[in-house]
A and B are shown apart, each in its own frame.
Chain A
């Protein structure tokens, strides 16, 4: 990138500010803690700024979310994760649920419109949740999700399908009430 120091900072700040709600939202949905999410988002911004000269200029949001995800996987998940039961990529895996001690999602997010969805999402096992967040909330492609989570595209496909399936079960009533699902559309 042919930027001067000031241009580099301005360019980074302009793009980062635009995607910051996604960065913070993803961090919140991953960490389930406001404090950890703020730390994670801030750390991601600092890392991204350090590496901005090497950014290829294609999809800034996907690049930022990849940094957040990598940071979370490498640092926060080790700290937060309890014992894992079975393989998450295995359709028949026993699914760990989120801790009861975690904050209610209506406290993490600032309005109650999507609180029910956030609560259901929080109960989806982490790797499935991450795939669904990046795909359906943040709009990343399978390849971008594979890059962010460092797994093959086939694994991304199965995680998305599995995550959505779990969400559908949890949100069936809500989706019907809100008109997103018709009677008889359940699995």
Chain B
């Protein structure tokens, strides 16, 4: 009886010509081997013709979609890798340009965090030579040109400092009344304020917090005044009502 593996290989056409001829010769002399070869061949034929092919159109369409996605991704990757430095430069340029443009087109814009910085960046307080009232002109020289501040006599200024936030001149007064210390920040232009909300019952005042401390803001045509102290908004509003540009 012939080697079974050789018989399978013969049916599969996987033998060398020489070995194939030997098997062929041997098959002609053995009915059993011939039947076996025919059976293998029949099984092979049955498997080739009777097995079903799965419907695959829907699955193929999914594959095509995946290929499309891959192509898109590759395209983007190619563009990005080629132009990444230029993209980064352009983006940086846009950011800088936008920042500059924003600053130039809206010079009065200032946010609450900026205000906090504003208070912190001012020069150290220097004590006045003597206790002064707000209505003393020499305190106001250079602050708001010819304008003048007036306060009730009992609000006493104890110190003053100057500074700038984003090119905007700021003057800070350290004052005191019977309820304690008050910081008054005076800016010589009208500001567009963020983080401050209109105060109920006071049409000209905004209220908010600066570094967690209550603050009311009084705005005028050419000035903005911040009253900051650890007090209620109503108390701050009362102080504000006594402070004005004259």
* Pairwise interchain contact B62-A184, C-beta atoms closer than 8 A: no
- Pick the contact of A20 from B48, B50, B63, B71 — CB < 8 Å? B63
CA distance A108 to B44 in the complex (A): 22
* Pairwise interchain contact B59-A137, C-beta atoms closer than 8 A: no
CA distance A46 to B70 in the complex (A): 8
Q: A9-B71, A13-B64, A49-B67 are in contact. Are A164 and B42 (CB under 8 A)?
A: no
* Pairwise interchain contact A114-B38, C-beta atoms closer than 8 A: no
Beta-carbon nearest neighbor of A164 in chain B = B43
Contacts of A42 in B (CB 8 A): 59, 62-63, 66
CA distance A167 to B67 in the complex (A): 38
* Pairwise interchain contact B54-A157, C-beta atoms closer than 8 A: no
- Pick the contact of B35 from A108, A142, A185 — CB < 8 Å? A185
Contacts of B63 in A (CB 8 A): 16, 20, 41-42, 45-46
Contacts of B43 in A (CB 8 A): 136, 164, 167-168, 171, 175, 180-181
Query: Shortest distance in angstroms between B26's beta carbon and chain A's nearest beta carbon?
Result: 17
* Pairwise interchain contact A9-B67, C-beta atoms closer than 8 A: yes
Contacts of A132 in B (CB 8 A): 47
Name which of B35, B46, B55 has the most chain A CB atoms within 10 A of its CB: B46
Number of interface residues of A (CB under 8 A): 53
* Pairwise interchain contact B67-A110, C-beta atoms closer than 8 A: no
CA distance A59 to B64 in the complex (A): 21
* Pairwise interchain contact A46-B52, C-beta atoms closer than 8 A: no
Contacts of B66 in A (CB 8 A): 42, 45-46
Contacts of B52 in A (CB 8 A): 25, 109-111, 113-115, 118
Tell me the chain A residues, 2-44 only, with Cβ under 8 Å from chain B.
Answer: 5, 9, 12-13, 16-17, 20-22, 24-25, 28, 38, 41-42
* Pairwise interchain contact A142-B50, C-beta atoms closer than 8 A: no
Name which of A141, A164, A180 has the most chain B CB atoms within 10 A of its CB: A180
CA distance A168 to B44 in the complex (A): 10
Query: Shortest distance in angstroms between B56's beta carbon and chain A's nearest beta carbon?
Result: 5
* Pairwise interchain contact A142-B54, C-beta atoms closer than 8 A: no
* Pairwise interchain contact A139-B48, C-beta atoms closer than 8 A: yes
Q: A9-B67, A46-B66, A114-B52 are in contact. Are A24 and B47 (CB under 8 A)?
A: no
CA distance A157 to B39 in the complex (A): 17
* Pairwise interchain contact A28-B54, C-beta atoms closer than 8 A: yes
A98 touches B (CB below 8 Å): no
* Pairwise interchain contact A25-B62, C-beta atoms closer than 8 A: no
**Assuming A13-B67, A110-B52, A175-B42, what are 9 further A-B pairs, CB within 8 angstroms?**
A16-B63, A114-B52, A115-B52, A136-B44, A175-B43, A178-B50, A181-B39, A185-B38, A187-B36
15 contacts between A and B (CB under 8 A): A17-B60, A20-B63, A21-B54, A25-B52, A42-B59, A50-B70, A117-B46, A117-B47, A118-B52, A136-B43, A137-B48, A142-B14, A160-B12, A167-B47, A185-B38
Across the A-B interface, give the 8 residue pairs with the lowest CB-CB distance, nearest first: A136-B47, A109-B52, A180-B42, A185-B39, A114-B52, A45-B63, A180-B46, A161-B8
A residues near B (Cβ < 8 Å) are 5, 9, 12-13, 16-17, 20-22, 24-25, 28, 38, 41-42, 45-46, 49-50, 108-111, 113-115, 117-118, 121, 132, 135-137, 139, 141-142, 157-158, 160-161, 164, 167-168, 171, 175, 178, 180-182, 184-187
